[in-house]
Amino acid sequence: MSGDRAAFMLDRMREAAFDAHRFVAGAEKTAFMQDVILQRAVGMSLLMTSELAVQLITKYPEFLEEHPEFPWDSMRGMRNRIAHGYFDIDLEKVWATAQIEAMDIVDKIDAIRHWRAQGE
């Protein structure tokens, strides 16, 4: 990864993914499905996460090659579905993504950002 801008984008991507997960942590799925404010908060956080992923892909293609462990295609697809789907967003997928995949992204970013601290 090159440049301070890429590191900044990665940090913001982590923050947005963590927010998506944090918003649903401890929540019941049925409550999420009935709470439009929570749905939109989580959806916006996932949109921000995936938009930053798309920007990294576009501006730093070497990052994509260096880190195939990220689900780049899925993230780009999520961005497009949320950004253009509006009222047709699959809330089941949003819920599952916030519950599981968002923290997977956080963990992957943490591993990249702190690899020197781990002595690798």
Residue 27, token pair as written in the block: 């929540």
Instruction: Answer whether residue 36 is part of any domain.
Output: yes
Instruction: Answer whether residue 106 is part of any domain.
Output: yes
What is the total count of domains within the chain? 1
* pLDDT tens-place string over residues 58-98: 999 998 899 999 999 999 988 988 888 878 889 999 999 99
Instruction: Answer whether residue 119 is part of any domain.
Output: no
Instruction: Answer whether residue 118 is part of any domain.
Output: no
Distance from C-alpha of 90 to C-alpha of 71, rounded to nearest angstrom:
18
Instruction: Answer whether residue 120 is part of any domain.
Output: no
Domain membership of residue 76 as a residue range: 3-113
Instruction: Answer whether residue 40 is part of any domain.
Output: yes
At 83 the pLDDT is 87
CB 53 within 8 A of CB 76: yes
